[in-house]
Amino acid sequence: MPGVPYERTSKALTPVDVWRAVRISRTPEAKAREIEWRDTECAGLTLRITKTDASWLIRRRDRTIKIGRCAEIPLPTARYIAHRTREAAKRGRDLKVFVDTLVKMRSHGFHGRTSYDDNLEWLAADELADDNSELGKRRLRGETHSAWTWRQLTERFLEEKLPELKKSYRSRYEKYLRLPQFDLISDRPLTELTAGDLEAVRDRILVAYRASTAHRAVRQGREMLTWAWSYHAAKAGLGQVQYPWWERWAVKYKSKVRHHTPKIEEIARTIVIADMFRKLSDNEHETYPGTVGALWAAALTAQRTGSLLVLRPDRLFAPEKKARLPGWKIANWSAEEMKGGKDGGRPHALPLPPDALKVLERFRRDSDQKSPWMFSGRKGSERITQSALNLLMYRLQGRVYDHRGKNKPDRPGKPGPKAAKEAKVRVDLFAYYGIRPWTLHDIRRTLGQFMDDKRLGGAASAILGHKLPRDEMPERERMAPVTEIHYNSSQRIGLKAEGMALWTRTLLAACEKERRALSRKKLPSLLPPQARQVG
């Protein structure tokens, strides 16, 4: 171009040169010019700098092919592409298709990786750039692009799937499709995927995790493959697949049906000993008041812990005067905060009697009254988690994993297992006080059975937030502000209050009885002297 300086230099390019090139192109004060640095280490590779950008080119006698921007493609990757392009030219491939395919594979499926796997990426690009191959013919007909790899399939599937799930469930769903065992096939094109590949991944997951985890990962993997086959067969490289052969990919697993229904006395005894014994071992933090308070709340309300633990003090509202519930408050959860099935969550309101509120406020005073959460952690800005509650239940049963008890790995010159340090001995308070093992979710079953015995089965379903037959909530009520949820007739506040009054009265009476009985029982010998803390 007349009047525009043009510079051309040949040298062995370095990463510093690439950095300088990007910087020059981004300098507003730079004069309008074009600069080309030819790489002597890789024939044809050229770095071109203009006043707006720095780009990689492949200069050939018959044509020039642009690879991409230097800011996005590092020097080793540009050299690799240029080298493979020279080989593809000898085979008569469409070089632009070849280069574009390699670049897209890196940007879509490799998340910043600067190298390729020679056994996978360039072969897929070479097949697509071959006009006589099946993929090449389909490309010429405009039917497909390069086949997706397992990694690309995962990314595209999750982009569409996760927004359809509840926010609280998305991370758990995604976790199973990102298990490290899938790295074995992550860069494998779906056109090359075999049943043996899937079985190898399954077997590795079974070695590293429980059968339930492998079952979940395999089930979601099948769902992902079926999604690609049903909606993106050509793009994914599954256009020639006649039937979903991956449906044979399975794990021999049967979920265990829980039938635990703890007695009210066992629930009461559990929360009383959790309240009494805050420090179960030397050199450990005592159980935080917010955690014990959350355990009491789980017993008093029989709500799912996932919903219960997101409760905030500002979501406790006074009932209407016509409800005739003096001293009561009504806890509210939005549809998003409640567990939902195929139809999604439903707003939930639960009346809490004064005696139950008194217990919850006691633990809130002992933890952090300024916290935005009803059950705050050691940091007031954080809430108690489900894992904290589960760990409390495990500790009461003496089930504490001791990291110091593991065998040390072999050291150079000293093979063979090493003697493990003596593991901590924990007292099983459940066994000592005659409590059968149970989980927090089992409280819901106990409440339902208790209400049925009292002929209040409808109250149990309402308290537990179960959807009844033909119980469709209008969209207006589903989307109502939380401050109005407890006014909705669909919430059946009167029926819930009747059941909650009976349940909390019975449970608190059982707690007082158990507390008196435990005060007369000899303490377990393995507990440290300072373990007992009467609440």
272-294 pLDDT, tens per residue?
Answer: 999 888 876 655 677 888 899 99
Q: Give the number of other Cβ atoms within 10 Å of residue 239's Cβ.
A: 17
C-alpha to C-alpha distance for 322 and 224, rounded to whole angstroms: 53
Helices (H), 310-454: 354-366, 386-396, 429-432, 442-453
Which helix (H) or strand (E) covers residue 220, if one does? helix 211-231
What is the predicted pLDDT for the residue at 342? Answer: 46
**Residue ranges in the chain whose pLDDT is less than 50:** 1-2, 107-115, 117-120, 144, 341-343, 403-411, 414-423, 469-471, 473-480, 534-535
Beta bridge partners of 414: 411
Contact present, 273 and 265 (Cβ < 8 Å): no
C-alpha to C-alpha distance for 47 and 13, rounded to whole angstroms: 9
What is the predicted pLDDT for the residue at 457? Answer: 83
C-alpha to C-alpha distance for 73 and 54, rounded to whole angstroms: 11
C-alpha to C-alpha distance for 51 and 29, rounded to whole angstroms: 10
DSSP-derived letter for residue 191 is: G
| Exposure string over 178-187, b if 16+ CB within 10 A, otherwise e | ebebbeebbb
Top CATH class, 264-403+423-519:
mainly alpha
What is the predicted pLDDT for the residue at 139? Answer: 67
Contact present, 424 and 402 (Cβ < 8 Å): yes
Residues of the chain with CATH 1.10.150: 150-248
What is the predicted pLDDT for the residue at 324? Answer: 84
Contact present, 267 and 301 (Cβ < 8 Å): no
Residues of the chain with CATH 1.10.443.10: 264-403+423-519
Residue 240 tokens, joined: 């020639």
What is the predicted pLDDT for the residue at 122? Answer: 66
What is the predicted pLDDT for the residue at 489? Answer: 54
What is the predicted pLDDT for the residue at 436? Answer: 93
What is the predicted pLDDT for the residue at 177? Answer: 96
Contact present, 178 and 218 (Cβ < 8 Å): no
C-alpha to C-alpha distance for 103 and 236, rounded to whole angstroms: 17
Contact present, 520 and 269 (Cβ < 8 Å): no
Q: How far out from the chain centre does Cα 519 lie? A: 43
CATH fold of 150-248, please?
A: DNA polymerase; domain 1 (1.10.150)
